[in-house]
Amino acid sequence: MKVIVAIDDSPYSKKVLETIAERKWPADTAFKIMSVVEPIRWSEIDNENWGELEKTAFERREKHASKICAEGKELIERKHPNCVIHVDVRKGNPRDKIIEAAVEWMADKILIGAHGHDLCDRFVWGGVSKAVAVKAPCSVEIVRPKAKHPTTCETKGKDKAKAIAP
């Protein structure tokens, strides 16, 4: 089984990694922990050195993305030492790059974190997770942390994970 684990530095990504660590996976499972660094938009900055500033800022953000992927890899390796784990940091739009990676790698599943902005958030997903769920060529599981506040939803206070098949 090939599983893409799309993360950033949010608490939602931490929950994705914890979910993977807690589950039992077949010994031949291969994980690709990936993070996508978006280009900086400099349209409003009037600076003759913007190219150098963009390069420096991107390198810093890329280094941070590599660090969080390496930390995720270490966590999964501790819990699942027989699984193969790859790290992939890309530049671009996260929606597009996650889908691109799934197609290239022929992934069987994508795990991604998301949060809603509504009390009953099972109908409201984050933009990236929603786009990935709609366009992915494989199953997508959207993982959320436990609700912080009681809601009127049926999933009140429970871990929320939505599995969506293509």
User: Per residue in 20-42, pLDDT tens?
Assistant: 999 999 989 999 999 999 887 66
Residue 18, pLDDT above cutoff 70 = yes
Report d(CA 15, CA 140) in Å as an integer. Answer: 15
Q: What is the pTM of this model?
A: 0.78
154: containing domain: 2-164
- Phi/psi of residue 88, nearest 5 degrees: -140, 115
Q: Which residues contact 120 (CB under 8 A, 6 or more apart)?
A: 151, 152, 153
Count of the separate structural domains present in the chain: 1
pLDDT in tens, 112-127: 998 654 444 444 446 8
Supply the pLDDT for residue 145: 72
CATH number of the domain bearing residue 121: 3.40.50.620
